[in-house]
């Protein structure tokens, strides 16, 4: 296997990590919408740690290996429309993910605070944060952007 094969394999592998993270987050969101106690919420967010690692690996790997590939392959240019489109989609995905994460982190922090205060029963405020419409919309936008990014990588429009 040459350098191109390794770069492509790592690029695809990190793209899988990014998609896997979105699946983990989706599962946590679905179960989070049914949760309203601090202890259950904290346990739920413990599962997010693996998703966060997958997202970080996927985010860094896809951009690094993708740009490296663009410079490595003679027939591609970093200025090709489909590569520029992929970079824009990647940046938008990172921003929607950041905003989504911030909103869900507030729910996690509230749950931890409630537990620290000794409140173990249901919390309307916690339930409302876990069902946050803006957070859900940011997550849906992240999923759509990921699908568009994958489509751009597969079909390479304008190449």
Which among 61, 150, 59, 71 has a CA at the least distance from the CA of 96? 59
pLDDT at 122 over 90: yes
- pTM summary value: 0.94
Where are the domains positioned within the chain?
A: 3-155
Which among 119, 123, 104, 128 has a CA at the least distance from the CA of 44? 104
Q: Are 153 and 86 in contact (CB under 8 A)?
A: yes
Question: What are the tens digits of pLDDT across the range 83-104?
Answer: 999 999 999 999 999 999 999 9
The whole-angstrom separation of Cα 46 and Cα 150 is: 28
Which among 105, 98, 99, 97 has a CA at the least distance from the CA of 129? 105
pLDDT of residue 64: 98
The whole-angstrom separation of Cα 108 and Cα 46 is: 10
The whole-angstrom separation of Cα 104 and Cα 136 is: 9
The whole-angstrom separation of Cα 61 and Cα 10 is: 7
Average pLDDT over residues 114-128: 95
Name every residue whose Cβ is closer than 8 Å to that of residue 91 and which is 6 or more positions away in sequence. none
């Amino acid at each position: 296997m040459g350098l191109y094969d390794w770069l492509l394999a790592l690029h695809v592998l990190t793209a899988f990590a990014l998609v896997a993270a979105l699946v983990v987050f989706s599962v946590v969101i679905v179960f989070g919408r049914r949760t309203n106690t601090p202890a259950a919420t904290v346990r739920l967010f413990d599962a997010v740690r693996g998703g966060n690692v997958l997202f970080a690996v996927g985010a860094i790997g896809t951009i690094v290996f993708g740009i490296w590939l663009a410079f490595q392959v003679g027939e591609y240019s970093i200025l090709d429309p489909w590569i520029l489109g992929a970079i824009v989609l990647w940046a938008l995905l990172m921003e929607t993910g950041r905003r989504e994460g911030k909103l869900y982190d507030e729910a996690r922090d509230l749950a931890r605070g409630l537990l620290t205060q000794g409140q173990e029963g249901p919390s309307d405020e916690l339930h409302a944060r876990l069902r946050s419409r803006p957070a859900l919309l940011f997550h849906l936008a992240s999923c759509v952007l990921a699908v568009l990014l994958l489509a751009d990588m597969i079909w390479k429009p304008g190449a």
